[in-house]
Amino acid sequence: MGHQVLTGAERRHARLRKFIDRVLPIILSVAVFIAVATVASLLLTVIITGGHRLSWNLILNYPSANPEEAGMRSAILGSIFTVGLSALICVPLSIATAIYLVEYSRGGRLSSLLRYNIANLAGVPSVVFGVVALGFLAYWLGMGRTVITGAFTLAILTLPLVTVTCVEALKAVPDDLRLGAYALGATTLQVVRRISLPRALPMMLTGGILGISRALGEAAPILVVSGILFIREDPTSLFSKFTVMPLQLYNWISRPQPAFIELSSAGIIILLLILLALNGVAIALRQYLMRRIGQTWR
């Protein structure tokens, strides 16, 4: 095994490849850094401006013109109520759509049309959903400017996002498993229930989290559908009037008094904490499901 003689060009080429190999991670980590730094600086700004305004008042009190007493009780409950309900509407619908598209449809024109539509729906500005919901649900169907209308609006808004994730989740299940089951004489329903769905469920949950996070932060469609900001009543039924946190935050930010701007930062912290809690629950659920699959199927 003698020394391999490299020509100049080859040597340069080899050096270049090594150089790229060393530089690329640096460039990529800069990209990561930018993303992380943006989030971190946002968080920092919010905590610095609003941290000292965090109090039980903010959670337990109703809105007030006095920043010392103002709270977002009705907004927090309204958000939890509408977003929770919208998830209950959206997630089963998305899973059903995905099951149809992946497991049942034979991939003809109809299914590609459906997919195309869903993808397009994801790009529609959210306020459009609000306007449509106001005209169709609130007035035409007579549901009024209520929690249920808000929930349906958010559900339709998040539907495409969640459906796409659910479709991808089902597609990620190896076909070998399905074919094996079919070979043993399973029906499609059995394949879905026993093979695809359990394996896809963890990823579907991730889609659900994404949807909920998006719905929780939406102000525009709710401004159209509800329009209400000042309300000193908790939402008690599906037909209650309601408001949501982003509306309250938006209003506080645009007030002249600095105290309200601080208050909105504190409100953002609470919104983020609720988001984190929701995500935490979903992640725990996902881990649990994944472990269960592991035990049953490995």
Partner 1 sequence: MMSQPKTIGLILTFLLVGGVIGYVGGWFSSSPSSIVTVTEKITVTSGGQTQTTGQLAGEIIIDGSSTVYPITEAAAEAFMNLYPNVKISVGISGTGGGFKRFVVGETDINDASRPILRSEAETAQSNGIEWIEVPVAIDGLVVVVNRQNDWVDCLTISELKKIWEPDSKVSKWSDIRPEWPNAPILLYGPGPDSGTFDYFTERVVGKLKASRTDYIASEDDNVLVAGVEGEKNALGYFGYAYYPHAADRIRIVPIRDDLKEGSECVVPTDETVGSFVYPLARPIFIYVNKKAWNEKPWLREFVIFYLENGEKFAKQVSYTPFTSQYYKSAAALLRAGVTDGLYSLTSIVVWRNAGPH
Q: Which is nearer to partner 1, 122 or 217 (CB)?
A: 217
Q: Which is nearer to partner 1, 77 or 167 (CB)?
A: 77
**CB 136 to partner 1: min, Å:** 17
103-116: burial string, b at 16+ Cβ within 10 Å, e else: beeeeeeeeeeebe
**CB 30 to partner 1: min, Å:** 27
Which DSSP helix (H) or strand (E) runs through 272?
A: helix 258-297
Distances (CA, A) of 284 to 33, 124, 189, 206, 277: 27, 32, 28, 11, 11
**CB 85 to partner 1: min, Å:** 6
Q: Which is nearer to partner 1, 232 or 291 (CB)?
A: 232
Binding interface with partner 1 (CB under 8 A): 60-66, 69, 73, 77, 81, 84-85, 88, 92, 187, 189-190, 193, 223, 226-238, 240-241, 247, 251, 253-258, 261
Q: Look at residues 214, 215, 209, 216 and name the one whose alpha carbon lies nearest to residue 270.
A: 216
Distances (CA, A) of 141 to 89, 120, 154, 278: 18, 25, 17, 32
How far is it, in rounded angstroms, from Cα 20 to Cα 294?
Answer: 39
How far is it, in rounded angstroms, from Cα 196 to Cα 95?
Answer: 12
**CB 163 to partner 1: min, Å:** 17
**CB 254 to partner 1: min, Å:** 5
Q: Which is nearer to partner 1, 51 or 227 (CB)?
A: 227
**CB 148 to partner 1: min, Å:** 10
**CB 66 to partner 1: min, Å:** 7
Q: Which is nearer to partner 1, 116 or 297 (CB)?
A: 297
Q: Which is nearer to partner 1, 23 or 141 (CB)?
A: 141
Q: Which is nearer to partner 1, 115 or 198 (CB)?
A: 198
CA angle 261–265–271, rounded 5-degree value: 135
184-193: burial string, b at 16+ Cβ within 10 Å, e else: eebeeeebbe
Which token pair is 61?
């009190």
